[in-house]
Amino acid sequence: MAKGFFSVPKAVNEPIKSYAPGTPEREALQATINEMSTQKIDIPMYIGSEEVRTNNLGTCVSPHDHQNVVGEYHKGDKDHVTQAINAALGAREAWAEMSWEHRASIFLKAADLLAGPYRAKINAATVIGQSKTAHQAEIDSACELIDFLRFNVKFMTEIYQDQPESAPGMWNRSEYRPLEGFIFALTPFNFTAIAGNLPTAPAMMGNTIVWKPSHDQIYSANVLMEVFKEAGVPDGVINLVYVSGPDAGDVIFNHPDFAGLHFTGSTGVFQDLWATIGNNIEKYKTYPRIVGETGGKDFILAHKSATPKGLATAITRGAFEFQGQKCSAASRVYVPNNIWDEVKGYIIDDANDIIKNHMGTPHDFKNFFTAVINERSFDKCAGYIERAKESDMCEIIAGGGYDKSKGFFVEPTIIVTKDPNYESMVEEIFGPIVTIYVYDAEYFDEAIYLVDNTSTYALTGAIFSQDRYAIEYATRKLVNAAGNFYINDKPTGAVVGQQPFGGSRASGTNDKAGSAINLMRWTTPRTLKETFVPPTDYKYPFMG
């Protein structure tokens, strides 16, 4: 047990490496990509102390080269979900009782492994399996995950330090227990860091986990599990299974020890899960915690005073980095007519330059833009593009092409619409398609109203303006339109510890990943009151 009031190492953001020509990190990453992309690895499930192989195999491919099979994973079924729950429950007592500093130490070691010996491997896995460029992989699978781990250790200790007052004659204490049961971490394809954070955040607070990743992220999830094991996460604390979502849900949401859902993914899936949990509420020992960060229809609103070049660059980066597959991606933009011609010229030039010179495999570091994650996503994007081509209300001013012969490539596409409620202004596409509505520069209030009322989501948004009154006004009027609001910046790229991330309305429970708010959801505090000298007479003084 602890024999000191320990302070943890100061959390600082992991510096982002540049991967510029001639740097050692570029050489290491390139070599690791070359080596890993020519291998086909065998990927087991991890349940308790076992590596589980079923020989019912699924494949991991590169989205930018879908015939290249880089891994085969062993698919599980409902029995494996039950085994994973049993392993989590079996490991729970020892893990919950371990002193917090040892839990902290394990995750700080995981951060250092990712920052050092595993950096090239986790980035290469994300480049190969999720088609991120070197830069996008670095800010996600290396830096953001390292930050999650280090900052969560700091937040954990801040929570533990939060103690009640004690009046004379007594000592009041708060004890931050893990939840009574197991946690289900259900993770998306698009951020390796999120896949790593959703099981580790509750685990850090003493919980044990059943983790089901997206099928499209299994390749890098396997590297994460290797890191967790090397860092010393004990068997059974994080159990990784590859089963269908509905199979996992059928077992987990009917289990009496289900204590919490840590979800990131689409809004529709989250709402279905919430409904199922609600319907099953009488089956559980405790009220499960439900944390879900979900979809977005993220906006950029420009005021007539906005600087055209800065706005255009924010549109290009915000909409097209990682092929628009960030929940935060700019996907609807409101531009005033006084600056539109200039902005239009810049963004068309950017899109054409990307298509001509910087689109292709992420293995080639000159590329800014690669493939979307899978055929379903490709077909969905193609559908939006074809409908826009046919619509009288729309014009495609850049991109609009797509080709899935080798990889799932959809060009960066800019739609201009005359209808502010056109489908691509309203629905989450999750691909490289941005839609622009040009408004009369003198009607800023109407543009604000549209921003606030067009979509059910409220994840990220940005205002571009050089007029401080306009900035203040939009910030106030759009108070509920985004959980992360940017002023003269693109709406993507939140950094742990700097811009706590999450949205409300249909975008989630806004428990801010990588913050104390999130960690609080994974603990159920017990209050202890100790009286030093108990009273010995039941009568009160007023009784005379």
Ligand X SMILES: N[C@@H](CCC=O)C(=O)O
Ligand Y SMILES: NC(=O)c1ccc[n+]([C@@H]2O[C@H](COP(=O)([O-])OP(=O)(O)OC[C@H]3O[C@@H](n4cnc5c(N)ncnc54)[C@H](O)[C@@H]3O)[C@@H](O)[C@H]2O)c1
Binding site for ligand X (CB under 6 A): 190-191, 326-328, 492-494, 501
Max CA-CA distance within the chain?
94
Q: Which member of 143, 144, 321, 327 is catalytic?
A: 327
Up-side HSE of residue 293: CA atoms within 13 Å toward CB? 29
Window 452-481: contact mask with ligand Y (x via CB under 6 A) = -------x----------------------
CB under 5 to 8 A by kind: which of ligand X, ligand Y, none does 492 bind? ligand X
Q: Write b or e for each residue in 124-142: b if 16 or more Cβ atoms lie within 10 A of its Cβ, otherwise e.
A: bbbbbbbbbbbbbbbbbbb
* Residue 269 is a binding residue for ligand Y (CB under 6 A): yes
* Residue 260 is a binding residue for ligand Y (CB under 6 A): no
Contact between 330 and 299 under an 8 Å Cβ cutoff? The reply is yes
Contact between 67 and 61 under an 8 Å Cβ cutoff? The reply is yes
CB under 5 to 8 A by kind: which of ligand Y, ligand X, none does 295 bind? ligand Y
Q: Which stretch binds ligand Y (CB under 6 A): 119-127, 262-270, 336-344, 472-480?
A: 262-270
* Of residues 415 and 494, the one with the C-beta less far from ligand X: 494
* Of residues 181 and 500, the one with the C-beta less far from ligand Y: 500
* Of residues 244 and 391, the one with the C-beta less far from ligand Y: 244
Q: Which member of 138, 293, 321, 411 is catalytic?
A: 293
CB under 5 to 8 A by kind: which of ligand Y, ligand X, none does 428 bind? ligand Y
> Would residue 262 be called left, alpha or beta, if left means φ above 0 and alpha means ψ between -120 and 50 degrees?
beta
Q: Say which residues have a Cβ less than 8 Å from residue 412's Cβ, sequence separation at least 6.
A: 316, 319, 320, 324, 351, 354, 355, 359, 369, 398, 399, 432
| 3 state DSSP class of 365 | coil
* Of residues 187 and 328, the one with the C-beta less far from ligand X: 328
DSSP letter at 128 equals H
Cα distances (angstroms) measured from residue 468 to each of 256, 315, 442, 465: 54, 21, 17, 7
Contact between 124 and 33 under an 8 Å Cβ cutoff? The reply is yes
381 is annotated as an active-site residue = no
d(CA 336, CA 465): 11
CB under 5 to 8 A by kind: which of ligand Y, ligand X, none does 493 bind? ligand X
> Which residue among 17, 212, 332, 344 contacts ligand Y (CB under 6 A)?
212
Q: Which stretch binds ligand Y (CB under 6 A): 55-63, 180-188, 378-386, 406-414?
A: 180-188
* Of residues 351 and 429, the one with the C-beta less far from ligand Y: 429
> Which residue among 199, 318, 420, 508 contacts ligand Y (CB under 6 A)?
508
- Show contacts with ligand Y in window 393-452 (CB under 6 A): 428, 430
Cα distances (angstroms) measured from residue 405 to each of 65, 67, 356, 410, 486: 9, 10, 18, 11, 38
CB under 5 to 8 A by kind: which of ligand X, ligand Y, none does 494 bind? ligand X
Amino acid at site 413 = T
* Residue 190 is a binding residue for ligand Y (CB under 6 A): yes
* Residue 220 is a binding residue for ligand Y (CB under 6 A): no
Contact between 387 and 433 under an 8 Å Cβ cutoff? The reply is no
Cα distances (angstroms) measured from residue 412 to each of 66, 204, 408, 432, 491: 20, 40, 13, 5, 17
Q: Are strands 65-74 and 258-264 parallel, antiparallel or unpaired?
A: unpaired
327 is annotated as an active-site residue = yes
Q: At its nearest, how many Å lie between ligand X and the CB of residue 114?
A: 17
CB under 5 to 8 A by kind: which of ligand Y, ligand X, none does 47 bind? none
* Residue 499 is a binding residue for ligand Y (CB under 6 A): no
* Of residues 251 and 396, the one with the C-beta less far from ligand Y: 251
Contact between 500 and 517 under an 8 Å Cβ cutoff? The reply is yes
In the complex, the residues that contact ligand Y under the rule CB under 6 A are: 186-191, 194, 212-214, 245-246, 248-249, 264-266, 269, 272, 293-296, 327, 428, 430, 459, 502-503, 507-508
- Cite the active site residues: 293, 327
